[in-house]
Chains A and B, each alone.
Chain A
Amino acid sequence: MAEIELKRISKGFLGGTVAALREMDLKIPDGAFTAVLGPSGCGKTTLLRIIAGLEQPDAGEVLIGGRVANHVPPPERNVAMVFQNYALYPHKRVFENIAIGLRLRRYPKEEIRAKVNEVSRILRIEDLMERYPKQLSGGQQQRVALARALVRKPEVFLLDEPLSNLDAQVRDSTRTELRKLFRELNATVLYVTHDQTEAMMMSDFLVVMDAGAIRQAGDPIHIYKEPGHRFVAEFIGTHRINTVAGRLENGRFKSTDGAIVLDTMIRKTGDVLMEIRPEHIAHGSREDITLEGETLLVEPMGPTNLVSVRVGENELKMFLSSPPRVGEPMRLSFSSRKAYFFEAQSGLRL
């Protein structure tokens, strides 16, 4: 197994007019199941392809297991990749699809057979070996694609949105299975996804990307609790975080409309954004910051309701199991410790 390190990697497209990655530094721990999370177009797939060797970075170094791998051709990097659309060879049977990588590396026949059998047993596809990819369901194709990656026992697995082409039910079961499988293998996995739930649930190590840059990397729970960047706070979380624009002066935050005022520990002056998650706002005045507002909208969500409340010029969302009627006045409160402050200009956490 191996550790992956990227040093100041840059990559541009269309003659450099579009930057996919900007001077990115990243260290992925050995044996970690790492999720790379970000919206589409943030450069996460490019990152994966650079590690695989399918793209050359314009600048910077890729280190796999401590060795510079920039000029190592893809097949020799000892990485395996599972593609979003699986990329199985339509003209080869399942067995061949799995075995081809070994064949090209000139493994003896018996060894190939043994390895393929082992992998197919793990993935429970033994009965499909004589079929063509077209005769398989989406879930089965996905397993074959996985088998093709597993059979080579690579140091690094690269998975590009492997679940996105499956329907919801299969996806849930596969997710659990994948996690189990790779935990047993104790392999370094790089898992690209745009689904934050998936990323949170599966990863030991989470990388959040946006616009070609890494916004935060680390333990997923920590990232959720302590987002280092405005983008991270807004992107991660089951519901969109509340944002209030305002100004910080001498440790006192005052929203632009003046309706929300609170004291903080931050000794800094300037325009900032205060953000607070809906789940951290409570009804009544239990917490230290209490606000008065008017109910704007109630969206039922089964066990609970998402309630929008207008406070001054701002609109705050919160969860309430017994919602007020629209138009009713509301009192709500939150703990100032749960509020995040970000510099308005750079989006960095204060």
Chain B
Amino acid sequence: MLNLENISKRFGDTVALHATSLTFKSGSTTALLGPSGCGKSTLLRIIMGLLPSDTGAVYLDNEKLTPENVLKMRHRMGYMIQDGGLFPHLTIRQNVCLMASHLNWELEKTSDRFSELAKLTHLPQASFDRFPSELSGGQRQRVSLMRALFLDPTIVLLDEPMGALDPLIRSELQHELQLIFSSLGKTVIVVTHDIAEAGFLASEIVLLKAGAIAQIGTLRDLVKHPSEPFVEDFINAQRSPLESLEITNPIASAGQGRAEQ
């Protein structure tokens, strides 16, 4: 279980995050949703201890995150970022097993863990000894996930994990992530600005607006019972392609008209 108590953060005169308290239950998947600059990535960095908060504290399973224990705590958190953050000078296997060699694991144990994760993420064997630059964007994200999961962390944090992928790969990976998370039963926090992705992956959505929580609930709650006009606007701004068709588009209709003649 992850608890945030009264976390806030300013950058100079700008408030990035107003005092915020949140609880993420063990085994739950939560999406931090919101437009750019709403503070969702800042929140994620504070949880990882990559950014110090101005006030408040982070508790992982009731243990407070401090500068002294932050390295050990990070071993219990897996982190995956938009473009994967893979190290270009290391092969896929070296990227995934980096912490094993840092923590001086036995080679056999390392190799077993790698195989296990490759199977879980369906990473083709041919890519194991390649370098990140030789892989596709989707495969790089699988590797990044393997690396995040390597030390079997309690919670997994994903920052726009599919932000840089094309729609087909994105959808394929979304399905796989959902399967993986439900099979592992880990606490997952995913940051995204895509409401469909948030609804698809997460059971609970935290919608942020300008550094403060606008609404917490399921996708259904947000759509059916928006707490304020912002929530409604945010949802309507990301209408589906099908909805777009229903709006009269003079150019599109004209083109259609000619085609029918």
| Genuine A/B complex | no
Q: Which residues of B contact A (CB under 8 A)?
A: none
